[in-house]
Each structure stands twice: as C-alpha cells, then as structure tokens.
Amino acid sequence: MPAGSLRFWQAWIYLLVFSVLATILAAYLLKNNPKLIESRLPRLPSEAEKKGKQRNTQLLLNILLLTLLITSGLDHRFNLFNVPTNFIIIADIFIALGFLIVFLVFRENSYASANIEIGKEQKVVSTGPYGIVRHPMYAGALLAYIFIPIALGSFWCCALFIPLSAIIILRILEEENFLTEKLSGYREYCRKVRCRLFPLIW
C-alpha cells in the first residue's frame, strides 16, 4: 500500500523469504517445542510485560519496525533510490542468516519467551550460540533488521537501524539486570561469556 503498486517486486521477494523461513521455523517448533511458541504468542494485557518501561520498549520497537516497512514502500513509490539487484539478493541472504541464528537460539533455549520473565525450572543456557554471545537472538534479529530496508530497495531507511539498535540495547540491559537478580548462575555466566551482542565488540 505505501508503494502504491503491485509491481514492488522487492517486497514480493522479501515476503516470500520471510514467509518460507517463518513457516519452517514454526513447523519445527510445533513439532519439537510447542510450549516455546505459546510463550512467544501475543499476550493478553494481564499477561504482557509487567513493567511500564519494558512495555514502552516493546511498543517503540514495533512502531519503528512498522515505520521501516512503510517508509521503504514510500521510497519505492517516489523512486528516491535505485538499489542494485545484487544488493537486494545479498540483503535477502543476510535476512535468512538472521533467521538461522534465531532458529539456533530457539533450538538451544526453550525459555526464550517474548517477555522478560523466568520460567519454571529455568536454568542458564550457555551452549550453542549462547557460548559466543549472551543475547544471540537479538543479534540475529538486528542482522535481519539492518538488511530489511535494503531488501526492499531503500538505502536511506537503513538510518532507522540506529534507533532500533538503541532500543534493543536498552532491552538487553533491562533483561540482564533482571536475570542477574532472579536467575541462579546468570552472574557467573556473564563472567564466562563477556560479549552481549557481537563477539569482540560488545
């Protein structure tokens, strides 16, 4: 709709990549870990994030993601940038890589809830991608986020990656404070795995 045309082929390819990968991920979880899917479904207001700060963080993140999609469509409508086809293909490949990282996280961690909370009998996970960085799911999501506008043919929408990253970093810091206080062994895990998001950077 923002693009004002069905000839927005970049969006069709992105939707195909996203739909196929999301379907594969959902099918795997439905078979192997249906409780994890349940924990990541939209919650009722009474079951959502309890702290206003965390709710606001989620709301801002959703608004920015929606803004990214809308402005990419507007970019196509007004032909502000002409992104080369090979850039678009490479961007879709990196989006798929982001999905792969998220898949590895879900396979390794059955407690990857959408909310900041502690599940029953939850333990610290330090294997798989968690042995590299403390928040690999956010790393995979950020990898996809930065390449979504390029996949949709918009270079200038990449600027939205800056506030998106800032919000996710705030979310990570909130989550770590909570887990350090509430989850046994998390403080020791943080000493073992030093990087939160990207190896050798942060």
CA angle 185, 189, 192 (to 5 degrees): 145
What is residue 44's predicted lDDT score, i.e. its pLDDT?
A: 47
The model's pLDDT over 45-54, given as tens digits with 9 standing for 90+, comes to: 444 455 567 7
**Contact of 190 with 126, CB cutoff 8 Å:** no
How far apart CA 7 and CA 184 sit, in angstroms, is: 53
How far apart CA 102 and CA 114 sit, in angstroms, is: 13
Q: How confident is the model at residue 187 (pLDDT cuts 50, 70, 90)?
A: very high
Helix (H, G, I), strand (E, B) or coil at 3: coil
For the chain, give the percent of residues with pLDDT over 90: 52
C-alpha dihedral over 176, 66, 145, 123, to 10 degrees?
30
Residue 70 has pLDDT above 60, yes or no: yes
Model pTM score? 0.84
Mean pLDDT of 103-121: 79
Q: How confident is the model at residue 41 (pLDDT cuts 50, 70, 90)?
A: low
The model's pLDDT over 26-39, given as tens digits with 9 standing for 90+, comes to: 899 888 888 877 77
**Contact of 106 with 37, CB cutoff 8 Å:** no
Select the more confidently predicted residue: 107 or 113.
Answer: 107
